[in-house]
Amino acid sequence: MATRALVLNEQTRADIKKVISHAEHNIFTEEDMVDRINNPGKHKPPGDIEEFKCFVPIGFRCVFTIEKQPIGWCRHLSVSIDAKDKVPSFAATLELAREFGMDVKAMEDFDHSWIEEIEPGKSAVNVLTKITPKNAKTSEDVADK
């Protein structure tokens, strides 16, 4: 785990809002998720799609999606840093999760969390919070808790 400064300024918050808006209008249904798992070469991972990610000073990379997971509709945030064999601190992950609209005060508040190796020597902390959909067909219909 790495401790480093997290800089949340006006530009950073604007970048985060842009990613959230894109995710809300480009949700991943259960069918999308199954297709991505069964055909990994067919789709770019969200982290390779510019509109689903942003960079937060100093050295944080955030990828955000809204997707149907086995536990239900979720906000999914993946946070990594620009250091080999390190992951972001819990404090930074929590603060970033709150910026992405997740109502959490501690790591235990996430509905699910895990560390994922995204490439050799580089890992990300992934966190999910469940949301309540009004109607899962359009992003406008996916609502917060």
**Spans of the chain, pLDDT less than 50:** 136, 138-141, 143-145
Question: Residue 122: beta bridge partners?
Answer: 119
The residues near 68 (Cβ < 8 Å, ≥ 6 apart) are: 27, 28, 29, 30, 32, 33, 74, 136
The pLDDT of residue 136:
47
Q: pLDDT digits over 36-75, tens only? A: 888 888 888 898 999 999 999 999 999 999 999 999 999 9
Gyration radius of the chain's alpha carbons:
15
Confidence (pTM):
0.88
State the pLDDT at residue 34: 87
Separation of alpha carbons 69 and 51, rounded Å: 21
